Chains A and B, each alone.
Chain A
Amino acid sequence: MVRLGTLIAISLTLGTVVFARPAAADKITVSISCSSLGIEMELCRDGAQAWAKQTGNEVKLVSTPADANERLSLYQTLLAAKSDKIDIFQIDVVWPGILANYFLDLNQFAAPDKLDGYFQTLIVNNTVDGKLVAVPWFVDAGLLYYRKDLLDKYQLKVPETWADLEAAAKKVMAGESGIEGYVWQGRAYEGLTCNALEWIDSNGGGTLLDNSAQATFNNKQAAAALDRARGWIGTVSPQGVLSYDEESARGAFQSGKAVFMRNWPYAWALLNAADSPVRGEVGVAPLPAGDGEGAKHAGTLGGQSLAVSKFTAHPKEAVDLVLYLTGKEEEKRRAIKGSFNPSLKSVYDEPELKDDPFFSHFADILDGLAVRPAAAAGRKYNQFSSAFVHAVYATLSGQGDAASNLAKVKSSWK
């Protein structure tokens, strides 16, 4: 084992950027950890600096590993050591259950009216044992990307159900050469959990675990959903999809080798970048619905929130900064500049976003989001997700049928 403490101390020293102004005695320094992925750090820095200027305080940015799992273990080590080095943590949507004990209950620190207007799904996700552990910052959801030009050419409609999608994909594949139907995330990792949750939930098969962390996936509709996905491999989806993560799926879709893709909102800006071969030819829609009882559109909820450490020396200022960053103006700025989907409902009504097809579609999708059972499984969520994903992966790669593979997964994750 490496001495984690030493490593953390070094990385914090190296990764810390202090916006030094002559330190006045009454100035308070709040430190915030932001993701360093893509444009995120820049947006976070600008937002935090604006708050510092407005309030006369200082802000310290701590950069953290881009890999989510590494970031989580860094957070856990810091928080377990009761460190006050970081006041505000940017956390993933599946972490509240794991980290809840280390964060302030924001219901007690923020005026109730300040917490109004966020999507209820997100607030519920971030509430653990009645404690609001983080304020939603931006929201992600699984989306269906499609090639407008190809659907037009073959006079196809945007698929409403998975059966529509299969039929449309087959029709285009029969007419075009060198193109695959549907690409998604099939590698055995968290991304496949998200995909499988969408298939199962859209087929009326539930959201994997109930509130007391007992398995709900041992039902016919869930098994049928997985068996249907198994049928895609080698027909509408390439076999290689079983090794795809988000970026490999985007690679295939963006280079024009697929008609449909399941991905997160981040792909939108990149698909429409100046050097993208499919620029202007891409549409976005809710993921298709299944069939049978309880079938609906379902996209897995993703996104990030801001939480305040309970070891902070300045809870008041830290909460104030969190509310500033998750406020209307700042979320609007981030939406326009980085296409981060606001967690505040009212931002979608702003004129700049209202006419943008991407954001207007997204607001509709948010009602049908499927939430991963992270709050119920708590610290055991990653273990559950891994066991579940192995059952899904075994089914997809043809080792046994869905019902028997799902039955092998442990049923209690309390």
Chain B
Amino acid sequence: MTTLRTRRAVTAWTFLAPMLAVLALVAGWPLLRTILLSFTDAGLGDFSAAGFVGLGNYRDLVADPEWWRAVANTLGFTVISVTIETVLGLVVALTLDAHLPGRGVVRAAVLIPWAIPTVVSAKMWAWMLNDLTGVVNAVLLGLDLIAKPWAWLADPVLAPVSVIAVDVWKGTPFMALLSLAALQVLPREIYEAARVDGVHPVRVFFDVTLPLIRPALLVAVVFRSLDALRVFDVIFVLTGDNPATASMSVYARQQLIDFQQVGMGSAAATFLFLVIALFAAVVVTAGRIRVAGARA
């Protein structure tokens, strides 16, 4: 018995070993190196001359108002865009779950924004949102909805709105797809029972559908939030290093590449990593408690 268990354990570890090795190589080592570099004053290009500066980079980081602005931008972006994407995604999923003619085609069409590489779609939106030559202003002006062209990407208020809108356009299909997958495995009998009992459809949604798909929805929200916290491409393409929209990743890139301060940039990247880890831990724990509470 013991030998069998030992042998099984050995087999399991043997199968796991290549995977763990690859993980250590492509995820563990770069992460460790970034953390190590964040305690040095390394410059881009010559790491060998780097000296240990302890927590110096973190002190500079905490003292930099631009960094805190980037943190606030990132958190605001994440909360707002993921909330809108979740609600819209759920609406799209419920629509697609109904037995409509041509459902397959619509389902494929909905996925298109998700399939386009972000850099490409962001550039595309940048041209569409251009204040003088863009189609968005042309349409709004043509319909007499606005009196003069709006500066979608330049106005300090409109720029974050535009960035979130473009992200919602891209992220909603992902949320819709995961919600739809959850919806389609729900047992039909419950709904038949509810119909027999004459329960109002809105109540069915909140009392039956939502609790049942909550675990799947939670996973989708965590995925999207992690994605949104490290957002870089959509912001960098649309508004560049503009402090009104710069995210933590945009800040880290600027330190690393433009300023050649690998130490400082690594500190920013490490901080970002900690924020994401903390967020994931909180969401997962909170989700577990709520799910457990609902069952009890």
Inter-subunit contact B33/A1 (CB<8 Å): yes
Residues of A within 8 A of B45 (CB): 73, 76-77, 79-80
Inter-subunit contact B131/A187 (CB<8 Å): no
Residues of B within 8 A of A229 (CB): none
Inter-subunit contact B241/A180 (CB<8 Å): no
Q: How many residues of B contact A (CB 8 A)?
A: 36
Give the residue of A79, A243, A252 whose beta carbon is less than 8 angstroms from that of B154.
A243
Inter-subunit contact B257/A390 (CB<8 Å): no
Is B73 close to A, CB under 8 A? no
Give the residue of B37, B46, B154, B261 whose beta carbon is less than 8 angstroms from that of A241.
B154
Give the residue of A76, A79, A188 whose beta carbon is less than 8 angstroms from that of B260.
A76
Interface of B is mostly: loop
Give the residue of A77, A98, A180, A187 whose beta carbon is less than 8 angstroms from that of B132.
A180
Assess A187 versus B242: contact at CB under 8 Å? Given A73-B260, A76-B44, A242-B151.
yes
Assess A188 versus B241: contact at CB under 8 Å? Given A1-B30, A76-B45, A242-B151.
yes
Q: How near does chain B come to A307, taking the closest CB pair, in angstroms? A: 16
Residues of B within 8 A of A390 (CB): 66, 243
Inter-subunit contact A189/B240 (CB<8 Å): yes
Inter-subunit contact A70/B30 (CB<8 Å): no
Give the residue of B239, B243, B244, B260 whose beta carbon is less than 8 angstroms from that of A379.
B260
Closest to A188 in B: B242
Closest to A384 in B: B259
Inter-subunit contact B260/A252 (CB<8 Å): no
Residues of A within 8 A of B260 (CB): 73, 76, 98, 379, 382
- Give the docked Cα–Cα distance between A257 and B148 (Å): 14
* Binary flags per residue of B155-193, CB closer than 8 Å to A gives 1, else 0: 110010000000000000000000000000000000000
Inter-subunit contact B257/A73 (CB<8 Å): yes
Assess A386 versus B151: contact at CB under 8 Å? Given A238-B131, A248-B130.
no
Pair count A-B, CB < 8 A = 100
Assess A80 versus B46: contact at CB under 8 Å? Given A241-B154, A252-B133, A382-B259.
yes
Inter-subunit contact B132/A189 (CB<8 Å): no
Inter-subunit contact B44/A2 (CB<8 Å): no
Inter-subunit contact A379/B151 (CB<8 Å): no
Give the residue of B37, B154, B254 whose beta carbon is less than 8 angstroms from that of A242.
B154
Interface residues of A in 182-234 (CB under 8 A from B): 186-189
Residues of A within 8 A of B239 (CB): 187, 243
Most B CB contacts (10 A, CB to CB) among A1, A379, A382 go to A1
Inter-subunit contact B151/A238 (CB<8 Å): yes
Is B76 close to A, CB under 8 A? no
Inter-subunit contact B258/A69 (CB<8 Å): yes
Inter-subunit contact B154/A186 (CB<8 Å): yes
Is A121 close to B, CB under 8 A? no
Interface residues of A in 66-80 (CB under 8 A from B): 69-70, 73, 76-77, 79-80
Enumerate 27 A-B pairs (CB-CB under 8 Å) in ascending A order: A1-B266, A73-B45, A80-B46, A180-B132, A187-B154, A187-B239, A187-B242, A188-B240, A188-B242, A188-B243, A238-B132, A239-B151, A240-B132, A240-B149, A240-B151, A241-B154, A242-B154, A243-B153, A243-B154, A243-B159, A255-B133, A382-B258, A383-B261, A393-B243, A397-B155, A397-B156, A399-B156
* Interface of B toward A, CB cutoff 8 Å: 30, 33-34, 37, 43-46, 66, 130-133, 149-156, 159, 239-244, 254, 257-262, 266
